[in-house]
Amino acid sequence: MIHGSCACGRIQYKTQAQPLAVTFCHCITCQRVAGGPFLPFVGFPTSAIEWTQQPDMWQAGDIAERGYCKQCGSAISMRYFHEADRIGLTLGTLVGAQHALPPVGAHIYLKDKAPYFTLSNDGAERFDEFSPGFRDQIEQWKADQQKE
Ligand SMILES: [Zn+2]
Ligand SMILES: [Zn+2]
């Protein structure tokens, strides 16, 4: 069982699902949201997450929505609209489950990397933006949206 919480405890989640890939996003929006150099996410099947309270939502763009707690400001989640059953949860909201995580799989949006932050040699894949495969999925989703 993995569970997590925002800073004030208003929004909590739990899941029996195994964590999927860990991705650190260095984009400008994630820096602003994190108040730091990047935002780390771990993926889960969306349907496998049980919430005590759904996160509040906002969108920085048209491809994804971001979950947060409006009471304490914690960044909690990110979900891309083209992925029907996958959500990224911020590593900082996990409670005592860090041992269950796979190693960092990828650093994305390194073109925006904070100049004051030095990336360690952790063996993860590195991308200037999204990985090419993920970018293709988003482009395909956008093309499908326009047809409707
Ligand atoms: Zn909160
Ligand atoms: Zn980002």
Report how far residue 66's alpha carbon sits from residue 145's, in angstroms, rounded to the nearest whole number. Answer: 20
What's the pLDDT tens digit per position in 35-92?
999 999 999 999 999 999 999 999 999 999 999 999 999 999 999 999 989 999 999 9
Other CB atoms within a 10 A radius of the CB of residue 23 amount to 26
Residue 113 alpha carbon to ligand 2 centre in Å: 10
- State the pLDDT confidence band at 107, using cuts at 50, 70 and 90: very high
Residue 135 alpha carbon to ligand 2 centre in Å: 13
What is the mean predicted confidence (pLDDT) over 3-19? 96
Where do the domains of the chain lie, and which CATH numbers do they carry?
2-147 (3.90.1590.10)
Residue 1 alpha carbon to ligand 1 centre in Å: 21
Note the pTM of the prediction, 2 decimals.
Answer: 0.94
Q: Say what the pLDDT of residue 147 is.
A: 85
pLDDT-above-70 percentage for the chain: 100
| Ligand showing the shortest atom-to-Cα distance for residue 6 | 1
pLDDT at 127 over 90: yes
| Ligand showing the shortest atom-to-Cα distance for residue 63 | 2
Q: Which H or E element spans position 70?
A: none
What rounded mean pLDDT belongs to the chain? 95
Residue 78 alpha carbon to ligand 2 centre in Å: 9
Burial classification of residue 76, based on how many CB atoms lie within 10 Å of its CB (0-12 exposed, 13-18 middle, 19 or more buried): buried
Residues 6+ away with beta carbon under 8 Å from 64:
78, 79, 80, 81
